[in-house]
Amino acid sequence: MIVALAILIGYLVGSIPFGLWIGRYAAGADVRRRGSGNIGAANVARVAGPAAGLATLLLDGSKGAVAVWLGATLGQAHPGAESTRMVVAGLAAIVGHMFPAWLRFHGGRGVATAMGVFLVIGWMAVAADLVIWLGAMAIWRYASLSSMLWAAALPLLMRWLYAPGHYPPTMVSAGTVIAALLVIWRHRANLRRLVEGAEPRFNFRR
């Protein structure tokens, strides 16, 4: 019951459509009908400007962090299952962001929310992975490619940098792999456009 509650709470928190709300407030636009049609930070930045994109990034990331924190606080009388509750709540938040029931299950790609999730679980891995994301963006300027590289590297970095001298619990390792696969799968259309040479580059000046 506690794990099921963690999943439900995580999904509800993750499904809050901050990008949609910020796009409407900052630009009077529905970001689902502009740019890539995504409610994530990159498309909000394209449609409503960098400040709106940054606000979306931070708020979407906070959804993942809050979900993990709530998962950790549930059922504190059973501390042995804490990592399980944290991971399932975090994964549920990522799924909620990707498939929010309020938006007919059309949400974002889940990168920022996944960052928030694993920032709480293993912040050193996320910090190192952020360097990869920023480096890829600086070199190629494809937000989608940078996000897929970030996702692909996360399980390895979590394995190496979870805590000094310690490997992560099995549930954390499994959850990291699942999150990475979800993020990459949500970018499958971007991957197809990258192969075809039709993926737009992110323009920092705009």
- Write b or e for each residue in 160-195: b if 16 or more Cβ atoms lie within 10 A of its Cβ, otherwise e: ebbeeeeebbebbbebbeebbebbbebbeebeebbe
* Residue 12 pLDDT exceeds 90: yes
pLDDT value, residue 139 = 95
Q: Is 163 helix (H, G, I), strand (E, B) or coil?
A: strand
pTM: 0.95
CA 59/CA 17 separation, integer angstroms: 10
Which pLDDT does position 77 carry in this prediction? 53
pLDDT greater than 80 at residue 54: yes
The Cα–Cα gap between 95 and 187 comes to 14
Q: Is the dihedral of CA 163, 157, 80, 117 positive or negative?
A: positive
Is pLDDT above 60 for 79? no
pLDDT tens digits for range 117-131: 999 999 999 999 999
pLDDT attached to residue 78:
57
Using the predicted structure, report yes or no on whether residue 192 has a pLDDT greater than 80.
yes
Is 90 exceeded by the pLDDT of residue 39?
A: yes
pLDDT score of 202 more than 90: no
Kindly tell me if the per-residue pLDDT of 203 is higher than 80.
no
- Give yes or no for residue 76 having a pLDDT over 70: no
pLDDT of residue 165: 85
Q: What is the pLDDT of residue 206?
A: 57
The DSSP secondary-structure symbol of 34 reads S
Q: Is the pLDDT of residue 75 over 80?
A: no
* Comparison of pLDDT for 165 and 180, the residue scoring more: 180
* pLDDT surpasses 80 at 205: no
